[in-house]
Structure 1
């Protein structure tokens, strides 16, 4: 693509610079509107500056990607309601054999969750579990938080639905879910293992320290207070003799009348006693029957909820199988999402409100902004300079391309990097061989995802773990930029390099 007129190049670069500053730094003093509004502002400036027309801006929005992202979010919401992530979190601590074993489990579970339910979701739901594990074993949470965030990023590269940049790559390259998984799975498995070994090696002394606290189970059993209702005995009035007052006489009829009245009173008291005892018996029987009914109803509700969970898991498995067999990814995930909504058989608003609509809005603005920047011709010009050194037909070219992707992913974020480089990398690979195109997309997916481990700002998953840990009620912890970078630099370079040799394209 030729360079646009100078005015368009300047104004388009300014609009992209505004987008980049607001997205990377989230809130800047002179314009603290946040990254979501920043993406919309960048898109609007592209249209106002005349870099692209309103029609071109609308065409730049990739609806299949938005549909796939929306469907995946809805499915994740219902899986969270079905306690899947709770069970996975408990699996981390189940019969653990020490701190090093826990690190391996955190790495594996977070990688598995992120591969099928996005890395952001995995970090949101597992951070609290990881902090609890660190607290229960009297360990600093730092290594466990790193294990969660970095392994979630690595694991998410295995599938097209693992992270947003993979969604973009899968839709643009038209690589099927199954081919995507097969091509990157060896690199992901080895990458997660290597990352876990690096964490264990880095914190070996800390993880080997004898702990002061014994293992505490995740579940706390509450003592129950048992109370029993006791019926107070009813005191009967006894028949007593009626003594005459001294100096006074009573006739026989008065005595007989008094005896009869006392007998009637005694009879009435006995009848009242029998009535009260009957009421108490009836009350106890009614209470017993009510308890039986309520327990039966409670059992029915438990079975109903269990059946619903099984159906949610079944629909999710059907969705994943359909994706593996090559069905349209966007419509498959949306169909699964709507099936879960219907299965729930209640107002879907509370569940749909949990979908991160700001992320969808962010993507709309980003699509327009990046497409506008591409229309200036600046990215193509820069790529023309780098392309001869970044060809994937030799090791040196792959290394240069990987470094470019890593730097851009941490400077402008991984999704814009994929949008800017995707077509260029694929076109360069096509000049070598058509069989190299798929591998070029795989390299872009692998490197742009693992590059998120380099810095705390390199991936949204890192920021989620950082924020969740900072505000956790059980054990708050601040994961700083430099602490993350100190580990992220060697981990990113080593894992990326090893994975490049294992990618199958």
Structure 2
């Protein structure tokens, strides 16, 4: 049976690498679900074991945060923020800095995917209206959404998973992650501003983003829900997933916004991806294959308990199979608080390297393409490569200095 489980595991993670399976119209979520079904059909797991393998608290936390993010989207809050940025006086470089700051701040507390989905069309509309090339701002949005999401345990899916499994305090993680995130945002701004110096302008036809109109009441409701949620994370004793579901449930009891509108903005494929990978990884762990894999790495000198090795392997694996599958593979090996911080920072910052490195990047490219702006993988790589290298170096230095200071000279 272990050979069968290994075969399914290989097929699933090849699908993670390729983004699907050749000849089939499957994306990563479909591949993960197909793998889970194959394990059930092959008798590697029973349905009860497969359901028990799904980390329901993580799925619940993801869902709850997606509903809260959808509230801001439906209330036109992202449109309001982006248009306020456009009204600010100053140079194009200053506008870029404000876009990066806003995208990072929003992504730290809300799902970075929805932030990119909502801000991209409005940002293009603003740039066209001011005769600015939208490309540096779109790349800044994507990079900042990824970097900013690393600042908290609810900024992106992999951080949510890490926070749930490791149990690290919400406020403690923020204090550990905020310095390298702040430095990384400055580095991203510097790279993009330097690359576009002297060539910010571009005359192009105006576009209509058809963004949701700003509704102060609906946005206020979203803000209140988010405030309650963060307060519960910081000082309450509720489980995080229960707090998130409570806030989501309160928002769903709306007289104006139908449940269907909320659900249309929930990333169901991402939830399916998580559930499928939970099942596949559980089968691999139960068969002993995952332990053998970690043992093989250790015999090759790649000790996952060593910070430098964990950092390096996380970066590489995140760019091979994507950051969520990478984190799912690496979490069973090391769940200490320090390793959790390292894993969250490395897996998230690595997502800026390639266009396919994170869903946020793909959303920006897809939304921009619909409005006539082509964000190619080459254009993204020109910015993503230096930004990723700089942010990883800054994070690595911070973690080394921070932990060395805590350990002391002895």
TM-based fold match above 0.5? yes
What SS class does the counterpart of residue 425 from structure 1 fall into?
Answer: coil
1:494 positional shift: 1.4
Given that 2:71 and 2:262 are in contact with CA atoms closer than 8 Å, whether structure 1 keeps it comes out as yes
Aligned equivalent of 1:42: 35
CA displacement, residues 257-280 of structure 1 (integer Å, 9 cap, x when unaligned):
xxxxxxxxxxxxxxxxxxxxxxxx
Equivalent of 1:325, from 217, 235, 257?
235
Equivalent of 1:116, from 100, 109, 117?
109
Give the distance between the partners of 2:25 and 2:356, measured in 1 at CA.
18
User: Residue 408 in 1 paired to residue 312 in 2?
Assistant: no
User: Which structure: larger Rg?
Assistant: 1
Given that 1:177 and 1:325 are in contact with CA atoms closer than 8 Å, whether structure 2 keeps it comes out as no
User: Residue 89 in 1 paired to residue 69 in 2?
Assistant: no
1:460 positional shift: 0.8
Aligned equivalent of 1:274: none
CA displacement, residues 446-503 of structure 1 (integer Å, 9 cap, x when unaligned):
000011011111111111111111112xxx1222222222322222121012023334
Give the distance between the partners of 1:190 and 1:77, measured in 2 at CA.
29
Aligned equivalent of 2:273: 362
1:28 positional shift: 4.3
* TM-score relative to the length of structure 2: 0.88
1:387 positional shift: 4.0
Aligned length: 394
Spell out the pairing of 1:138-153 with structure 2 (5 A cutoff): 138-153=131-146
1:402 positional shift: 1.8
Given that 2:132 and 2:202 are in contact with CA atoms closer than 8 Å, whether structure 1 keeps it comes out as no
Give the distance between the partners of 1:376 and 1:333, measured in 2 at CA.
34
Q: 1:38 to 1:114 in 2, by over 3 A?
A: same
Structure 2 unaligned spans of 5+: 210-214, 404-410
Equivalent of 2:368, from 437, 461, 469?
469
Equivalent of 2:374, from 451, 474, 478?
478
Given that 1:178 and 1:325 are in contact with CA atoms closer than 8 Å, whether structure 2 keeps it comes out as no
Single out whichever of 104-113 and 80-89 deviates more from structure 2. 80-89
Spell out the pairing of 1:102-181 with structure 2 (5 A cutoff): 102-181=95-174
Give the distance between the partners of 1:112 and 1:381, measured in 2 at CA.
41
Given that 1:390 and 1:399 are in contact with CA atoms closer than 8 Å, whether structure 2 keeps it comes out as no
* TM-score relative to the length of structure 1: 0.72
Spell out the pairing of 1:364-403 with structure 2 (5 A cutoff): 364-387=275-298, 389=301, 397-403=306-312
Given that 2:83 and 2:126 are in contact with CA atoms closer than 8 Å, whether structure 1 keeps it comes out as no
Given that 1:409 and 1:451 are in contact with CA atoms closer than 8 Å, whether structure 2 keeps it comes out as yes
Aligned equivalent of 1:448: 347
Q: Aligned-pair RMSD on alpha carbons?
A: 2.7
Aligned equivalent of 2:407: none
Equivalent of 1:189, from 168, 178, 182?
182
Equivalent of 1:459, from 332, 335, 358?
358
Give the distance between the partners of 2:247 and 2:255, measured in 1 at CA.
12
Q: 1:212 to 1:355 in 2, by over 3 A?
A: closer
Structure 1 unaligned spans of 5+: 1-6, 220-304, 427-436
CA displacement, residues 40-71 of structure 1 (integer Å, 9 cap, x when unaligned):
10111223334333332111101001100110
Aligned equivalent of 1:63: 56
Spell out the pairing of 1:317-356 with structure 2 (5 A cutoff): 317-326=227-236, 327-344=238-255, 347-356=258-267
Aligned equivalent of 2:212: none
